[in-house]
């Protein structure tokens, strides 16, 4: 974290820096990150212990030093610690102060994602689009509150070119605090729903609370709003430009949405005067809306229409979990992360909906106990019911799937192999344009290698 020397951090948090004798020079050393979880300490990080309901982070200060922490914060005096520490009144407040000071000197654009529903999904979609051109840092998971947001800011490194941060609130004033930390150059608002009514009373209250953020944006910032949301249409900014997206002819809009295909959701996206067809590999019209928000951000950050399209088509791809991959004209359903009979049948059902030839590449399902053979055998029936064209099985238990299909004299072309290599030798040559291939097995089968082989060889 550039310029964040221990001496400067101590000043920012208004704390007392205590350095073990002989190590005084450390005061001019920069911290490389700041975390509140000792397991995430890396070399020269600052450890920020927090007092929780069950665990007191102060108990892990020595562990943090042993993992390479440069220093720690502490709410109390420490007895002979292994490294420097800064005494503060409240480590949670100190974290915010550190993130705020660090953010002030960062030159990269920060994008805040706000809204009642769809923040995480939209953040992922924006990241997918921006990653076609930039090195992006994003909120991990759902770390969107007054602890998660500053921790995210502290993860920004010199190589990052843009930050996408989720900001979540449940009461008035909270967005002022989050906005003050993130100072977003761009804000995306997904919608004004019915969450957190306890404090915010009604949708107008929610709108007021969320729009507190505008006060913390530069006047040349940009606000990107869901134009199909009746409350957001009327949102007043502090002079920042507004861009609307939606399904009703807004500046960034979508038409011809087809939300029932297996390869994701199809739509024609219009960005100003450009239009293109896109398949977002996630189900549902709401993902088209999230995609439009991402397209708007992409355009504002100078991406070409083809980059935006590519980013949308790669969205939401969590490797190995029902991840739809398009390679040339071949569709791979990469579901190799794990398998059990229920998910196996569900995936086969999805495969059955594909329009071209269907190929199932299946491996053993683990941890099924004494019924394991029977449970594999039953998969055969599901393959038949869904009219799967080709079935390639690998592994000892999966032989049962093959047996079941052979005994039934099924119309599936079924082949069984002892090894992945043997299977690939037969599979790769038969793949052609328009095929859809499901790859699924339990984790130990290591079927990610199958996905990679198909990706590289078709």
Q: Which residues bind Mg ion (CB under 5 A)?
A: 119-120, 142
Sheet of 71-74, strands arranged across? 16-18, 85-87, 71-74, 46-47, 34-35
Q: Which residue lies nearer to ligand ATP by CB, 191 or 322?
A: 191
| Neighbouring C-alpha atoms within 13 Å toward the C-beta of 79 | 1
Q: Cα(first)–Cα(last) distance of the chain, in Å?
A: 44
Q: Which residue lies nearer to ligand ATP by CB, 230 or 425?
A: 230
Q: Any long-range contacts for 400-406 (C-beta under 8 Å, 24+ apart)? A: 400/373, 400/374, 400/376, 401/362, 401/376, 401/377, 403/377, 404/377, 404/378, 404/379, 404/380, 405/380
| Binding at 270: pick from Mg ion, ligand ATP, none (beta carbon under 5-8 Å per type) | none
Q: Which residue lies nearer to ligand ATP by CB, 178 or 348?
A: 178
Residue 266 Cβ, how far from ligand ATP at the closest point, in Å? 17
Do 155 and 166 touch, CB atoms closer than 8 A? no
| Binding at 291: pick from Mg ion, ligand ATP, none (beta carbon under 5-8 Å per type) | none
Residue 282 Cβ, how far from Mg ion at the closest point, in Å? 15
Q: Which residue lies nearer to ligand ATP by CB, 223 or 424?
A: 223
Q: Which residue lies nearer to ligand ATP by CB, 121 or 265?
A: 121
Cα-flanking dihedrals φ and ψ of residue 213, to 5°?
-60, -30
Residue 324 Cβ, how far from ligand ATP at the closest point, in Å? 16
| Binding at 190: pick from ligand ATP, Mg ion, none (beta carbon under 5-8 Å per type) | ligand ATP
Do 51 and 37 touch, CB atoms closer than 8 A? no
Do 251 and 272 touch, CB atoms closer than 8 A? yes
Residue 168 Cβ, how far from Mg ion at the closest point, in Å? 6
| Binding at 402: pick from ligand ATP, Mg ion, none (beta carbon under 5-8 Å per type) | none
Q: Which residue lies nearer to ligand ATP by CB, 74 or 144?
A: 144
Q: Which residue lies nearer to ligand ATP by CB, 86 or 350?
A: 350
- The residues, any chain, with a CB within 8 Å of residue 11's CB and separated by 6 or more, are none
Residue 286 Cβ, how far from ligand ATP at the closest point, in Å? 4
Residue 126 Cβ, how far from ligand ATP at the closest point, in Å? 12
CA dist 329 and 419 (Å) reads 27
Residue 26 Cβ, how far from ligand ATP at the closest point, in Å? 38
Which parts of this chain interact with ligand ATP (CB under 6 A)? 115, 117-121, 142, 144, 168, 190-191, 286, 289-290
CA dist 314 and 323 (Å) reads 10
């Amino acid at each position: 974290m550039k310029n964040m020397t221990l001496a400067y951090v101590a000043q920012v948090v208004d704390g007392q820096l205590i350095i073990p004798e002989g190590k005084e020079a450390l005061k001019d050393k920069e911290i490389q990150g700041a975390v509140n979880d000792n397991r995430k300490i890396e070399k020269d990080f600052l450890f920020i212990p927090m007092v929780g309901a069950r665990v007191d982070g102060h108990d892990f200060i020595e562990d943090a030093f042993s993992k390479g922490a440069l220093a720690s914060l502490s709410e109390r005096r420490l007895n002979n610690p292994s490294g420097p520490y800064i005494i503060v009144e409240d480590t949670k407040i100190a974290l915010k102060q550190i993130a705020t000071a660090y953010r002030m000197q960062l030159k990269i654009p920060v994008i805040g994602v706000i809204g009642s529903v769809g923040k995480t999904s939209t953040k992922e979609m924006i990241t997918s689009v921006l990653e076609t051109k930039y090195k992006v840092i994003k909120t991990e998971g759902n770390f969107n509150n007054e602890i998660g947001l500053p921790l995210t800011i502290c993860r920004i490194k010199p190589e990052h070119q843009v930050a996408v941060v989720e900001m979540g609130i449940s009461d008035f004033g909270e967005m002022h605090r989050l906005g003050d930390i993130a100072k977003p150059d761009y804000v995306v608002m997904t919608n004004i729903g019915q969450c957190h009514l306890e404090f915010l009373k009604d949708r107008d209250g929610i709108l007021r609370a969320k729009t507190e953020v505008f006060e913390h944006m530069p006047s040349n910032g940009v606000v990107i709003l869901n134009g199909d949301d009746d409350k957001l249409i009327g949102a007043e900014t502090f002079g920042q430009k507004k861009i609307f997206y939606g399904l009703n002819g807004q500046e960034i809009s979508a038409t011809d949405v087809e939300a029932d295909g297996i390869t994701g959701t199809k739509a024609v996206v219009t960005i100003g005067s450009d239009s293109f067809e896109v398949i977002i590999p996630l189900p549902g019209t709401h993902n088209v809306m999230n995609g439009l928000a991402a397209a708007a951000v992409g355009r504002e950050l100078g991406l070409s229409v083809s980059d935006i399209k590519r980013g949308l088509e790669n969205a939401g791809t969590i490797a190995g979990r029902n991840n739809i991959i398009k390679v040339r004209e071949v569709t791979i359903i990469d579901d190799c992360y794990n398998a059990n009979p229920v998910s196996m049948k569900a995936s086969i059902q999805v495969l059955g909906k594909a329009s071209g030839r269907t190929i199932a590449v299946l491996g053993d399902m683990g941890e099924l106990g004494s019924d394991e053979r029977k449970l594999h055998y039953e998969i055969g029936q599901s393959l038949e019911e869904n009219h799967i064209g080709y079935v390639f099985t690998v592994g000892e238990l999966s032989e049962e799937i093959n047996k079941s299909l052979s005994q039934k004299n099924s119309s599936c072309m079924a082949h069984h192999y002892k090894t992945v290599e043997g299977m690939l030798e037969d599979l790769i040559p038969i793949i052609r344009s328009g095929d859809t291939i499901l790859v699924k097995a339990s984790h130990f089968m290591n079927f990610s290698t199958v996905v990679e082989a198909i990706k590289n060889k078709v």
